[in-house]
Chains A and B, each alone.
Chain A
Amino acid sequence: MKFKTHISVKNLSVWYGRHQALNNISIDIPDKKITAIIGPSGCGKSTLLKSFNRLVELQDGAKVAGEVLVDGEDIYNPKVEVTHLRKKMGLLSQRPQVLPASIYENVAYGLRIHGIKDKRKLDEVVRHYLKESNLWDEVKDRLHSSASKLSIGQQQRLCLARGLAVEPEVILGDEPTSALDPLSAECIEQRLLELKNQYTIVLVTHILRQARRLADHIIFLYLGNLIEHGPAEEVLKNPRYLKTKSYLEGKFIEEPKIDKELNLRGVIYPDNLIAAKLALGDLQFGQILKIIVDYEQAASELPKAIEHEGHKILEVTKLDKNDGAIIVQKHNGGYVI
């Protein structure tokens, strides 16, 4: 997995009041690629997306811990100017939200709030980005009529044009096609595919086919935990972990029943491997062992080594800032998941 990182998330946790929506997410988002965040509803997809432009802070009682580095700069640093950050991140929301103004003013809005007044420049930008989002031909004769009169698919394209007009680096899409008819959705997808050469695109989607069509990179979240991520090919075709597999196959996701738990905090490789092997030896075939280790251990050789022994790794998760868990099923030839 070699790529240029654009957004780097480090130990990001988000709480809404007492409810923890994201638990210690650490992930890199590749530059100028489409990254799809998938997962069942309520798993924190949108929260993760909105933490990239700090919109998450607007929710009542939201609390954020950890770092999100955009171009190497932590955006949660109090010195960062949030308007400047958000200008870098175009947002396409679930339902298109046109501002109560004309089509022209919707696209020009972003420029106006950033202080551009030159009429000729505005005209030019509006035309350019309406063309870019494939809307120009449909609206060029009624630029000054209300944007709310457009169809919902046109509205979403207008939102795209509006977002692009402020020249962002990243496009964040929060299920941008979910409210649209198939044709409009197709149109937006096409635009995104064309735009990925110029922009880093992060897309929340609950449509797996869409993820397959568009994504270069996949992030799978479940109940606020990062379960699996990687190149789309790998994750979608050969998911490594049980939950990803269940989700992709449309099965009910259930927590594996843990038969034995092993605490190996502070134990390093290969001592922890030996301990794990001993513990696995005590188990029946098909039974499940949960090993709690320091996260660096979980993220490195240990799972691979266990897998090499023939056991099946069901999940590797991060429990909190320091600790990780590896869930292993003792190998047995006949057991099919």
Chain B
Amino acid sequence: MNLLSLLLLPLLTAVVLLPLKKEVVIKGIALTGSAFQLFLTLFLYSTYRSERNNGNLQQFLFQEQYNWFPSFGISFHTGVDGISIAMLLLTSFVALAGILVSWNIQKMTKEFYLLLLLLSAGAYGFFISLNLIVLFFFLEIAVIPKYLLIIIWGSGKNVYSANKLAILLIGASALIFVGLTGLYFSLPPAVRSFDLITLSQLQIPSELQRWTFPLLFTGFGIFSALFPFHTWVPDGHSSAPTAGSMFLAGISMKLGGYGCLRIATYLLPDGAKEYANIILILATIAILYGAFATMLQEDLKYINAYSSISHCGFVLLGIGMLTKAAMSGAVMQMVSHGLMTALFFAVIGMIYERTHTRMVSEMGGLMKVTPFITTTFILAGLCSLGLPGLSGFVAEMKIFSGSWQNTGWMHRTLTILSCASIVITAVYILRAIGQTVMGPLKDASYRSFKDASWNEKTAALLLISGILAIGIAPYWLQELIEPGVEVMRLKMGIN
């Protein structure tokens, strides 16, 4: 199957939207486009499975290569392995759900959907690229729409947050760019390349890895809320419109994690080993500190944003642990957190549309009036605190057991500390649930609330189905991810 179709479909949908005027048609087309996209990724998954079952052992499947800027070794090279397919599936689930929940958007509908489609196109392009510059190009494409989404449709301190987000992420891109070009030009001219596969077969000198790895890892890490560059996360998420937060937390933060794993760690294994301890310490700080900072937040979006910092810390922790189980746990955590946090933001959006507040202290007793929404909220919360049967548990346990394979005292201590976050997570999640969903009905006007409408229900069920599919039967995801991680493991010579 041609991977370009994944990229072209959202762009094509966007182009079709351009001349249209009627809102219903615009929404309908955007919805159809993303639904098709979902089918396309599912189809990709099934063809991938059958290829693998037929004994295709290539690392990347469905490769295509088009020349773009040959003198610098830049070509449009696409291909996927299990890890990218997992991320593509996540993207298409979140994108469709995001488009569904923003059904009632009032202002500049067409532009809103255009930006959402563009953002998802950026993410699709990012995950299928095998050329570093092309990948970087798509990373940038995914940043700009976010800025516009926040600044035009956002609420609260949206200008401040949009600026902060854009500046930090573009700063991160600058680090990545310096790292990539530095890597390219420091290699002998004969072997210079931006191609992922070519680079992965090179023996990149340790000296070079020593300074390019921190650049690349920090750059991608900022996208995935690396401490102490995480402060764009709470502001950005809380100011963005619902679908914006879903895309931001569900997709963009995963671009960072994927980059850390696929580019920084895979291409520069010596660098990864050298800096692993620092990564682990930063990740553990992010996990605990994010969790503690969540405990007393009042705004639901801030609660989820800080908990995202904590959960994304697990991704970095898994990568930094450098064992097979921990690294595949990190990928699972990306998928799981993407679905879970998108669900969370979707529900928060639904609650906000009804109560017109996001402050937990101003709500109460919603269970009585909106059972579907509150059940979804509780489910998202339980997934976040790692209840077995939901996706969070699988990912976290995989990371913990992988982490425990490292025997050094520092690894042990950090593992135990990050395990402790399951208790703190329970504290803040139950606090949020207890105050908003349970308790006596806060206001008599709540009785007039309608439960979720069809679009909200579909979006929630879509994400819940993903969470349950991973939580109840994790082996399919495991089978998808593990070979990709295995390749990295072999390259690094670790277990």
Whether A and B are associated in the same complex: the answer reads: no
Query: Which A positions have Cβ atoms within 8 angstroms of B?
Result: none
